[in-house]
């Protein structure tokens, strides 16, 4: 898992039917000091995150696990919301 901040939303008018009703968000990965690291990416939201929130996201096969046994085609999923920046250990 990695920490990121939600920086925007994506609208997809045509998508795989298993993604119906699911929200895509743009996330910016952060380093240990909560500074932007790398390029933003698009993640499927599994927890109801919103713009500006600090989140955990995962990539790869594990990204589809929050959707039970659905064949959800995702390789990047938001799996948790961090309550506040104060809850993050900064090195």
Could you report the per-residue pLDDT of 34-84, keeping only the tens digit for each? 999 999 999 999 999 999 999 999 887 666 666 665 677 888 899 999 988
- Domain ranges, ordered by start, for the chain: 2-86
What number of residues does the chain have? Answer: 91
Q: How far apart are CA 73 and CA 22, in angstroms?
A: 11
Is 8's pLDDT higher than 70? yes
The DSSP letter of residue 38 is S
pTM > 0.75: yes or no: yes
Q: How far apart are CA 62 and CA 6, in angstroms?
A: 20
Is the domain spanning 2-86 CATH 3.40.50.1360? The answer is no
Place of tokens 């995702």: 74
End-to-end CA separation in angstroms for the chain: 17
Q: And the tokens for 13?
A: 């008018």
Instruction: Give residue 44's pLDDT.
Output: 93
CB of 64 closer than 8 Å to CB of 72: yes
Instruction: Give residue 25's pLDDT.
Output: 97
Q: What is the mean pLDDT of residues 16-38?
A: 91
Q: What is the mean pLDDT of residues 15-25?
A: 88
């Amino acid at each position: 898992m990695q920490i990121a901040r939600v920086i925007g939303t994506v609208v997809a008018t045509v998508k795989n039917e298993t993604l119906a009703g699911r929200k895509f968000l743009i996330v910016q990965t952060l380093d240990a000091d909560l500074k932007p690291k790398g390029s933003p990416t698009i993640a499927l939201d599994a927890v109801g995150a919103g713009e500006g929130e600090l989140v955990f996201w995962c990539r790869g096969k594990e990204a589809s696990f929050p959707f039970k046994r659905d064949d959800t085609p995702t390789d990047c999923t938001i799996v948790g919301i961090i309550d506040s920046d104060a809850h993050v250990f900064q090195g």
